[in-house]
Structure 1
């Protein structure tokens, strides 16, 4: 496979624009965080008002089309050709789970079900709905972290990247998503540069947020458990340790550090889940999971397309959709990078079906346990959550678990590894996006790993307001990214058909001109 070479000037342009924007963000936050937060909130509201309905329709259509491709004869396609996969199925699945679920799944798995349990989501608020508060809380959480979310992170978009990179030899960058529209010209087109820059900014913002939140969560936990002052110095020390871990992992590459860290993460998560189920409220969790899944599947379409409360949607569903869409292009690169040799059916089953089911069970276990203890003693989890936010939720739940003296530190370690697996994979993906190399230079991976940590350190110095502003900003960056991802609804199937024809799975040639011919 021959991959086109990128000019050093082009690499510097993309790196300069994306890195420069992050620097500008930090400078503005440093000089006037309040005013910048006001601007971001205005942009946040405008983005949700204009793009919110589009995101809801796109998320649903993306899942449906991906499932159709994966469950029909197109599922037999070998991504990247008839080559052996780079890693075992377990390691491949572990990297996918840890990279995409990431720290957000740990932070929110304890907090979101409790939020929805205390305040019933609008769709289920009617007393005549017949849905229990527990089932409603879990079903709504499943909607935000289930099939739609996962499919957006690496199905149709990954198919386009696979075809453009492995079959047509384009460099592995976000701009390859435009290859079906622009052909080879996308390598030097200004739209390609814009696509790379907005994708890098979006994923950097989405990754720096969890990195910063981890420092605040562990700082809060150490203060609550050990009496240490949750000062900036403590948070900076925690951040430094985290950055060291994921920088070392990113520097060793996908086949070593990233896979090892992800595999260790999965093993630890399974052990902790087993302890919760066997020694904790296992029966309650299983019942809650099954009932929640029943409501989730029964009311899937109403929840996916619900527009009855704009304010609630903006702070919940559309916030998450913007977050996941912002991650979309870079995740597509990463999934395409690790999935060569897999079948399209394996990709769809892993990303759009298996991973969401595992995620839902994780939320039912952590969040369900929190609800169980909240029902037994009102305020034991909701109280700390309302007073101190996300960092307090996970600690409150784990302190109620059996063997708390073991479970609390174990979950803190798990949280660190979860966030580290996001940091290393996204540093790797950003380096790929800028260099265009299948395996970017170690120095580039280290540079972006350290850069994200440095930005998080500066924003932490300003208090949680800086991190919160960055988290809201990713929703704004999702606006241009969603326009980049919109065409995959039809270009994804086109590229799948082209690969199926090349591999003899279908006999009908692609209609009209080929992609390359249409762009010349």
Structure 2
């Protein structure tokens, strides 16, 4: 064969620009609104969590906290190794001939490179990354991370502070969200006609028959619950952050009424975006946010402490690379339990919980791209962009903390990151205007996470690429409503739900684990079928 994708005989399924599904695939839910079991289990969890919180809010908080602490201490090392191995295997795969295979049997990409990268940047770690970008580096500056021995609050502590932030939001975090798992899903969906659902990741291990039944519904529901827990948290945190910002900047009341108004506006934005789909609302919102982020970054870099930021990034990234494995494999034997629970393990478990649905979204938007392009974009380019953003905001915060222009020790020791973000923003060039711009940016970043996850959850429930708009609206409204109810009970319940994602990471990690070997296998199969490694399976000797 000559390697031309178009010359490969198409499989026996229908492939259009909107949907790819085998006509006889029994894994696809018969009901147009999705698998009833997934809907019952996921909505049942939401109602149970809210109902139990109303019945005994302290019982729920203590129960989740105990489960969170046990999971972090017992399985923290497992979570860390899963992320590390995923990144290492993905990087190895990216530089093999099989990585030249194209996704979705399309000769040309479905989305332009800028649109594609914008959606990736604004979807995966967007909401959380923007929320922690200003405060986390400053926290690690005033409280030295266990991997380093520098004196806190000194110039020597800058590199370690940034390096630790890069570890939490860098290569490992991004790789688990859309590298190997996205390859498995792309192969199963576009080449074999299976639905874009988490259960599909386990099909090579458990077989189609087993995952097509009730077990598959449970697998999908667990992954949906993890994403709902992980998304409602940032939505609720955003409401408190913007409410605090409007109060501090303009004197508006900082109460539940303001928070509810913010949730209504935010929900309207991301639900509308989700309803219009990948090619309209989602990509338009992402492109706008990228332009806004670039404008803010340019102002900070030119008008802020430029030389300090350049030096800090150079030293911080160098420290990140040189201390990469020591930070990635830090355990409770060498670090305090509380530190591991609330930083490395918490973040890594959060990303694991997002993993399957993020991979679905990455596979959906990457048609026409090579496996290599997808892996490098998600696991290398996006993390590097994230480190730059953390340096601009967090590095500026460190500079102002070091020079005495701001004082964030008390706020960060109480984990008040909304205070940290606004304080750093007001110290930046432009003062109030910059603070408003960063609040808008944060809001839209959370909206891009909300719209993509509403879309991805709907894909999982429906079993196909273009789920009903009613289903998309249902999940968008559900997450906003859940955030509103939990905020009414107190921000502690948002924290409890956020901690719950560490518990859900246990079963979700088992869904991701097989991709360590099925990912390379799927890539090789795609490359063989496209004639990149020789004749495809089943081809005659004459071919």
TM-score normalized by the length of structure 2: 0.91
Is 1:423 equivalent to 2:450 in the alignment? yes
Equivalence for 2:362: 335
Q: Matched residues in 1 for 2:427 and 2:407: separation?
A: 9
1:182 Cα deviation from its structure 2 partner: 3.0
**Bigger proportion of residues as helix:** 1
The match for 1:408 among 411, 432, 435 is: 435
Equivalence for 2:8: none
Structure 2: state its 5+ residue gaps: 1-12, 15-20, 539-543
The match for 2:516 among 489, 508, 511 is: 489
Contact 1:59/1:149 (<8 A) preserved: yes
Equivalence for 1:443: 470
Q: Matched residues in 2 for 1:101 and 1:90: separation?
A: 18
1:101 Cα deviation from its structure 2 partner: 2.2
SS in 2 for 1:153: helix
Equivalence for 2:342: 315
The match for 2:143 among 86, 106, 119 is: 119
Equivalence for 2:67: 43
1:172 Cα deviation from its structure 2 partner: 1.2
Equivalence for 2:308: 284
- The one-character-per-residue Cα deviations of 1:257-299 (angstroms, maximum 9, x if unpaired) are 0000000000000000000011111111111011000000001
Contact 1:143/1:296 (<8 A) preserved: yes
1:132 Cα deviation from its structure 2 partner: 1.9
Equivalence for 2:423: 396
1:402 Cα deviation from its structure 2 partner: 1.4
Q: Matched residues in 1 for 2:318 and 2:242: separation?
A: 35
The match for 2:486 among 448, 459, 465 is: 459
1:207 Cα deviation from its structure 2 partner: 0.5
Equivalence for 1:221: 245
Is 1:6 equivalent to 2:33 in the alignment? no
> What value does the CA root-mean-square deviation take over the aligned residues?
1.8
May I ask how many residue pairs the two structures share in their alignment?
510
Contact 2:38/2:217 (<8 A) preserved: yes
Equivalence for 1:364: 391
Q: Matched residues in 2 for 1:65 and 1:508: separation?
A: 25
Q: Matched residues in 1 for 2:471 and 2:436: separation?
A: 33
Query: Relative to structure 1, is the Cα distance of residues 283 and 17 closer, same or farther in structure 2, using a 3 angstrom cutoff?
Result: same
Structure 1: state its 5+ residue gaps: 512-520
The match for 2:400 among 364, 373, 377 is: 373
Q: Within 5 Å, which residues of 2 pair with 1:156-175?
A: 156-175=180-199
Query: Relative to structure 1, is the Cα distance of residues 503 and 388 closer, same or farther in structure 2, using a 3 angstrom cutoff?
Result: closer
1:507 Cα deviation from its structure 2 partner: 3.0
Contact 1:239/1:453 (<8 A) preserved: yes
Is 1:183 equivalent to 2:207 in the alignment? yes
- The one-character-per-residue Cα deviations of 1:462-514 (angstroms, maximum 9, x if unpaired) are 11101000110011001100011111111111111111111111138789xxx
Contact 1:48/1:314 (<8 A) preserved: yes
1:183 Cα deviation from its structure 2 partner: 3.4
SS in 1 for 2:134: helix
Q: Matched residues in 1 for 2:498 and 2:188: separation?
A: 31
1:29 Cα deviation from its structure 2 partner: 1.3
Query: Relative to structure 1, is the Cα distance of residues 453 and 315 closer, same or farther in structure 2, using a 3 angstrom cutoff?
Result: same
Query: Relative to structure 1, is the Cα distance of residues 510 and 317 closer, same or farther in structure 2, using a 3 angstrom cutoff?
Result: farther
Equivalence for 1:306: 330
Is 1:432 equivalent to 2:459 in the alignment? yes
SS in 2 for 1:408: helix
Q: Matched residues in 2 for 1:408 and 1:10: separation?
A: 42
Contact 2:133/2:394 (<8 A) preserved: yes
The match for 1:257 among 276, 281, 284 is: 281
Q: Matched residues in 2 for 1:327 and 1:510: separation?
A: 34
Q: Which moved more, 1:414-423 or 1:5-14?
A: 5-14
Contact 1:164/1:170 (<8 A) preserved: yes
Q: Which moved more, 1:162-171 or 1:10-19?
A: 10-19
Query: Relative to structure 1, is the Cα distance of residues 148 and 510 closer, same or farther in structure 2, using a 3 angstrom cutoff?
Result: farther
Equivalence for 1:245: 269
1:228 Cα deviation from its structure 2 partner: 2.1
The match for 1:348 among 371, 375, 392 is: 375
- The one-character-per-residue Cα deviations of 1:80-114 (angstroms, maximum 9, x if unpaired) are 22343221100000000000122111110011101
1:418 Cα deviation from its structure 2 partner: 0.3
Equivalence for 2:178: 154
SS in 2 for 1:505: coil
